[in-house]
Structure 1
Amino acid sequence: MRPIRSVTLSALTAAALVLSGSACQSGEETGSVEEIIIGADLELSGPTAAIGQAYRRALELKISQVNDSGVLGDRTLKLDIKDNGTDTSRSLTNVGEFANNPDVAAIIMGTCAECVVKAVDTVEGRRIPTIALAPAGNVASPVNERQWVFKVGPNAVDNAAALTAELTADKRTRVGVLFADDAYGREGRDALEDAIEGAAGAAQDIEISGKVPVRPTDTDVSQAMETLLETEPDAIVVWTFAEQAALAAANAKQAKFRGGLYFDAAAAGDLFLSGQPAINGATMVFTQTMVIDGVIATTPATAARKQWFRDYTAQYGSYYGFSSFAADAVQMVTNALQQSPTVSRDSIRSIVETSQFDGLSGPIRITPDNHSGLMPQALTVLVARSGRWHLAS
């Protein structure tokens, strides 16, 4: 906050006269601040509430940092958050309210892919820039039907390629797949199968022994894991969110499974795995920011990621993997506002569609032909050791 200067009574009187004589002057002339609202439709309750709460914390922290930095001059960001409870109808109502508010410049949507897909007609019809944090590819594709929708987060095809490389390096030959029976889980199942079938060399020796779905709302995956273990895999790929991945790991340990556990990026949750010893030894594909505290900063981008990690941890006590995606969504809007002389949804959309920057999650490149911005180079391999995630190397 700026220090308040003391003034004399005469000065106050003079100021009052000036103001009364210029009440019709514009906010720009009087030095007022223009407030720009970002609407956030998040899963703050329901099966993915942990991710929704992490997104909320990240959005609040990042917007506070943007406002404190003064990079927007006489503009300031304000966050308007609504809980959709992973209910598509409730989410659609939230998006409609944001779209109908002319003060809302952009919308950020959470991890519910079905919510984004259902809201596409509203988003496109009302022409409001929307950034989805859901991992499913169909939130931003096909582009010709998603002109106003963009995505930040890992892509199934990139994750599948990275996991296939790890399975090959570890000489796995029979792989079981446990996947969430939703848009992203099914996309991941198909992407992994395609990656294995299309790989050259040793990867061609990998056989998928079984593919078993679980409902995203399931709090018990033991039966699914039992079915998968009956196929006698020497590795299991878990393509679910963190809570179900932890359950799968516990079931595998209880069954004395001695093969390898491999997690897709969706399984990234808390950095520290307190109370989840079964995850130790598991491999996960995710962004480097999750473990950036163990990386030496050799570039400005790495230094920024380390600072974000420290700021988030200091504010909230621990680090949650998905938080950087939400922060990068805010940065995309901020960058567009910095480059736009006027605040309009059309200008924000046009600038976001050509976004190129080194985000907190990794390099982000969006083009008119590709609205999913996180580059494959952002992914790295992590391993769970001593109750937390580390770089595999």
Structure 2
Amino acid sequence: MTPFRSATALVAASALLATTLTGCQFGGEEQDTSPIFIAADLELSGAAAGVGKAYRQALELKIEQLNASGALNGRTIELLPKDNRSDASESLRNIVDFSNDSRVSAIIMGGCNECAVGAVRTINEKQIPTVALAAASAVASPVADRRYVFKLAPNAADNAGALTVELSRRRIATVGLLRSDDPYGREGVDALRGEFSKAGIQLLVEESVRSTATEVERQAAALAAAEPEALVIWTPPEQAMLAATTVKQAGFTGALYFDASAAGDLFLGASARAAERATLVFTQTMVIDDVIATTPAKAARRQWFQDYTARFGGYHGSSSFAADAVQLIADAELRAGGQTGQVDREALRNVLETSQLDGLSGPIRMTPDNHSGLMPQALTTLVARNGRWRLAS
């Protein structure tokens, strides 16, 4: 090549490079490829470790799927989990640590009602968006005092209404209640009393159990002795299955009804015999293999059910709430925008407050007046048959 041609080629190459750089700098905003950090405060040990493990599995699977999907516009999600040991004090320390980490966009809290309710003040003072998987209404209401807190779990009023419809349909007139001794359990008995009063159902006997309890013999004996036609069990999954077995051993022969908080593993294992023909109010995703996928949302739920089952060897009902929490935060982060690599928690909160999603759990709608997003239509009736939950016919 002649010196003239070499110089000409060099000038052309330099011009092309300059044009490319100019386009990157002035032709549009630089693409944000910074990671999205989501913190998780979970019950990985202690009384609620079973549900906490399911939440962590669901979070990790959903994040893996989103990162591989290309739907995050070149970004990835990183999970920062901590164990709260099923203890509200430990949970609060985790929330403070997460809040002080400038990388963290939002927090997902597990199913511990005392943990979520106890952290509300700190979350709002620290102004960090938080999606809690706990069921108590005090987690997200009143909204004016909980601007940064959102809830993804079935609501007590919706559960009580659905249970009462089933009890009325079966013409059951007398009921016993075993409830958790926590904010959600106390909320539950109030909601049930209100619904029972309208339906003409009598609550004969009520017993409570601490969330850390591993024995329910005393409560089971008292419930069986009252001889109600049906028993409503309003406790976390492990206690619910323990109670089902124990009340049968105590001589109870009536029907069993479970609130959504009792939903655990799809297969009932050692409790299968005691729970046979029991009724559970929960989301359809728990039994989506019984449902014909006639819509994209149902197809997505079926795929989630299959993916979770293939990965972990079984299905846990509450897993979809954790997955939906990740989806809500990821969608809000992308919509909130902001400077590249900068976390804008206020913008994220504002987007979360108007989020709508046909989620894996069902329809989810957040509004400025309602931070508890799961719609009543998400609930359906399941029945225990041959050792697993099935869609009620």
SS in 1 for 2:270: coil
Is 1:241 the counterpart of 2:236? The answer is yes
Alpha-carbon distance in 2 for matches of 1:341, 1:320? 34
Q: Is the 8 A contact 2:109 2:116 kept in 1?
A: yes
Q: Which amino acid aligns with 1:228?
A: L
Gaps of 5+ in 2: 1-16
Q: Could you tell me how far 1:133 is from its partner in structure 2?
A: 0.3
SS in 1 for 2:232: strand
SS in 2 for 1:275: helix
Q: Is the 8 A contact 1:325 1:360 kept in 2?
A: yes
Show the counterpart of 2:329.
Answer: 333
Aligned with residue 266 of structure 1, among 238, 261, 271: 261
Q: Could you tell me how far 1:307 is from its partner in structure 2?
A: 0.5
Call closer, same or farther: CA 1:346–1:29 in 2, change over 3 Å: closer
Alignment of 1:47-86 (within 5 A): 47-86=47-86
Is 1:250 the counterpart of 2:245? The answer is yes
Show the counterpart of 1:33.
Answer: 33
SS in 2 for 1:75: coil
Show the counterpart of 2:123.
Answer: 123
Show the counterpart of 2:14.
Answer: none
Q: Could you tell me how far 1:33 is from its partner in structure 2?
A: 2.9
Alignment of 1:167-178 (within 5 A): 167-178=167-178
Alignment of 1:6-155 (within 5 A): 33-155=33-155
Q: Is the 8 A contact 2:223 2:247 kept in 1?
A: no
Is 1:231 the counterpart of 2:212? The answer is no
Alpha-carbon distance in 2 for matches of 1:254, 1:66? 46
Deviations 1:356-384 (A, max 9, x none): 11110000011111100000000000000
Show the counterpart of 1:190.
Answer: 190
Aligned residues: 366
Call closer, same or farther: CA 1:246–1:364 in 2, change over 3 Å: same
Q: Could you tell me how far 1:256 is from its partner in structure 2?
A: 3.3
Call closer, same or farther: CA 1:296–1:150 in 2, change over 3 Å: same
RMSD: 1.8
Alpha-carbon distance in 2 for matches of 1:224, 1:31? 60
Show the counterpart of 2:303.
Answer: 307
Alpha-carbon distance in 2 for matches of 1:29, 1:239? 52
Alpha-carbon distance in 2 for matches of 1:32, 1:361? 30
Alpha-carbon distance in 2 for matches of 1:344, 1:66? 21
Q: Could you tell me how far 1:29 is from its partner in structure 2?
A: 8.9
Alpha-carbon distance in 1 for matches of 2:96, 2:242? 36
Q: Which amino acid aligns with 1:86?
A: S
% identical aligned pairs: 58
Q: Is the 8 A contact 1:71 1:338 kept in 2?
A: no
SS in 1 for 2:384: strand
Alpha-carbon distance in 1 for matches of 2:259, 2:369? 26
Alpha-carbon distance in 1 for matches of 2:69, 2:80? 20
Q: Could you tell me how far 1:340 is from its partner in structure 2?
A: 2.1
Deviations 1:100-130 (A, max 9, x none): 1111000000111211222222211111100
Deviations 1:293-315 (A, max 9, x none): 11100000000000000110111
Q: Could you tell me how far 1:145 is from its partner in structure 2?
A: 0.5
Deviations 1:208-239 (A, max 9, x none): 10111111111111110111122220100000
Alpha-carbon distance in 2 for matches of 1:164, 1:273? 24
Show the counterpart of 1:8.
Answer: none
Alpha-carbon distance in 1 for matches of 2:121, 2:162? 34
Alpha-carbon distance in 2 for matches of 1:89, 1:48? 15
Q: Which amino acid aligns with 2:147?
A: Q
Q: Which amino acid aligns with 2:179?
A: F
SS in 2 for 1:315: helix
Q: Is the 8 A contact 2:224 2:251 kept in 1?
A: no
Q: Could you tell me how far 1:338 is from its partner in structure 2?
A: 2.5
SS in 1 for 2:71: coil
Q: Which amino acid aligns with 2:83?
A: D
SS in 2 for 1:73: coil
Q: Could you tell me how far 1:30 is from its partner in structure 2?
A: 8.7
Deviations 1:153-207 (A, max 9, x none): 100000000000000001111100011111111111111111111x3xxx22x11
TM-score, normalised to structure 1, is 0.90
Is 1:318 the counterpart of 2:305? The answer is no
Q: Which amino acid aligns with 1:64?
A: E
Deviations 1:19-70 (A, max 9, x none): xxx9xx99x9997830110000000001110000000000001111111111
Q: Is the 8 A contact 1:356 1:365 kept in 2?
A: yes
Q: Which amino acid aligns with 1:335?
A: D
Is 1:280 the counterpart of 2:281? The answer is no
Is 1:348 the counterpart of 2:344? The answer is no
Alpha-carbon distance in 2 for matches of 1:252, 1:91? 33
Compare 122-131 and 152-161 and name the one that shifted more. 122-131
Q: Is the 8 A contact 1:213 1:224 kept in 2?
A: yes
Alpha-carbon distance in 2 for matches of 1:340, 1:181? 39
Q: Which amino acid aligns with 1:311?
A: D
Deviations 1:323-378 (A, max 9, x none): 00000101111111221222411111111101111110000011111100000000
SS in 1 for 2:72: coil
Q: Could you tell me how far 1:283 is from its partner in structure 2?
A: 0.5
Alpha-carbon distance in 1 for matches of 2:317, 2:384? 14
